[in-house]
Structure 1
Amino acid sequence: MTPRVYDIVIFGATGFTGQLTVQYLSQKLVDGTFSLAIAGRNFNKLHTLKNELVAIDRGNEVIGVEVADVADEASMMALAAKTRVLITTVGPYTEFGEAAIKACAEKGTDYLDLTGELEFVERMYAKYDMVARSTKCRLIHCCGFDSIPHDLGVLFAVQQLSEEAGELVRSDVFVDGYVKVGGRISGGTWHTMINAFSRLAKNLDVVKFWRSLTQGKDVDGRRIRAAKPQLKYDYTLRSWVVSLPTIDGQVVRRSAELFEQYGRRFTYGHYLQIRRLPKLLMTLGGFSSVIALSQFKWTRNKLLELLPQGEGPTDGDRERAWFKVTIRARSGRHKVVASVRGGDPGYTETAKMLSESALALVLDNAHLEPVYGVLTPAAAMGNRLIERLDQAGIKFTLLEDY
């Protein structure tokens, strides 16, 4: 086997989120515990980025530069063969993501992305899970705000519940996650969202996801299901809550399939939390309108023009942004509530989550479970990643009030 030249390669390094990830990881290079490279299809942009990094810190001279293109399979295979972990921020993943994951699966390279596209995740699982198991690598989707705070937050809460209640394997476990956010999205995220909405009516896999909101799944005699959709006022949270049919719930339920400690029967409800009714109505109305307009080519193109790819929030916008995920878990008479808090969810903290995921795979590999294939963040990195993120400022907290 060809020796790995790098520990971590960031593919799509010149994009908005890619640059934030490079900046975060470059600050960790000072101790020399891992090697890093930036990759993309534009040689000049990559070298401009490296020169900017070197101007900040001469130590960044050690960062490698690699050219690869999703349209050139040989270049992607060569890139995957050079690194232990490949991060890709090149989306929309449904259009541009398969080349990277295919290369990693075949070359035995651990893979991380930021997708929130269920269609992509389900197709990649079907095509590459067994390949990755045979080459003993981890293919891990959703390593940003989609879906690390929710996935690891539920793992954290269930572990706290287990300590209080004891053995949960024979018990029914009910968990609800409530998310509040403040911030704005980038052009790349906007284009990904619009493209995903435009495919709802065409894509059977996504339709299956919507149906899964009320259907359960049996796994080795255990029952994993989603809570029924709800729209209600929660007096404890002092907020309106509405079911949020994003990929996060699917990721949590996939982790529940893999962990017996989630209980014999596990139910998860995933909700958006909004304090004021007028804002809730505006959010629901805007969401519905965007979905409807995404179905037609002319209106879809107009939506895409509103926020071009490559544009993102300003530094000031990101400094003001925040998120909080509240997790309620109960089994019988035992109850716990936990929270996951951080800053700008879409970019600053997403780059942090993605970077710390890569560092966990490289620096903590000896302490991770030897499981391979298409995995969730909780299944692949679990408590090691919780510890890393908590130390990095994304706080996992056990609260007193249920």
Structure 2
Amino acid sequence: MSYQQLSTHSAVLALWYIVNTSLSSYYKLIDAFGDAYSALSMTVGDWRALSLHSAHIKRFEDADDVLAFVSRVLDEVSYGAYRVLFVGDDDYPVQLINIYDPPPVLFYRGCVERLKDKQIAMVGSRNPTEMARKITFDMAQYLVQSGFSVTSGLAQGVDRAAHLGALEQLVCFGRTIGVMGTGIDVCYPKNHNALFAQIIQEGGVLITELLPGTPASKHTFPRRNRLVAGLSLATVVTEAALQSGSLITARLAAEQGKQVFAVPSTIHNKNAEGCHHLIREGATLIYHPNQIIEELGNDAVYSALPKTFSRGVSAFVDDEMNDLMPKTSQLLHTHAQKPAPMVPEHLQDLWVCLSNNPKDLDALVTEMAVDTGMLLARLMELELLGLVQQVGGRYGRAKDF
């Protein structure tokens, strides 16, 4: 069997397999020989002259194995197991063309049109606090309502909350992109089968540059993180420790010229030290998702936002949402009765203590009989829900509540 029988796209697949998805080796061959088909037409001696890894040379010599791989991929694509994108295809995400090392091949499942969306990456701890999980979920839902799609890495914790928050918004189906650190046919973590299926069924998309069958490893996740950052206009870190892989995503986003946002927490929250580090290093501190939209520019927001939400009012839908609505929607709401605030059960006692006349922190500590750290955490959560505002260090209910 010979490489000469391959089409242009099949030649790219073959070369990607031969170098075992090594970006440096792949582009070294392309730079030397012009394209994948030409590289496969060269001799073993030509390849050795480039000082390629011996494993790549050995695989190049075994044409039968390479062609069997290409044939298997084409068969799996033909019966719909997944699809493949190549650089130059109409659906290949243009934002990845501009990163330092764009993947020549993307395997995907789901709605490929999602890759053209204006995306915000949301990343963070695999073991977040309950507050960080909720903040992530609510921010993702708000961003989707505002016309963005949410991109993340399908991990436990913050990633999962980001995907689920995006999927919660029924008006804008499936506006989430999951970037895998495995082959397209490998579910990791194993308990995310239902999440993967939901993303695909509801109009989202899963993508990876890794070969089918590739298992998760410590080497595959930084590669995934580079694509999460590359696909997105900006990256938001909602909670992360100092050693979190989310800081890698943030660094890659900054290197790509993208904006990085970080959500603060109390200084006692070890799980948020990474966010505080990012803020010290120049990331933009945010406590409301509308701040992301303002920083990126309102021209990035879609014009048609829903007036009501079938699963209740989003935790972030407040007066600021009116600034994002088309004028016609504002007119429809002029005489509408404001819905009763949706206060989570664990915050209702604090909500009752608050009024439109702001109180200082000491008074609230005495009235609530809780420690200051706990109270500040609850006040921040109410602020993120748009229910409380702080004026001069005093806290009161947001206007109209």
> Given the two structures, how large is their TM-score scaled by the length of structure 2?
0.32
The structure, 1 or 2, with the larger RCO (C-alpha pairs under 8 Å, 6+ apart) is: 1
Structure number with higher strand proportion = 1
Structure 1 or 2, whichever has the larger Rg, is 2
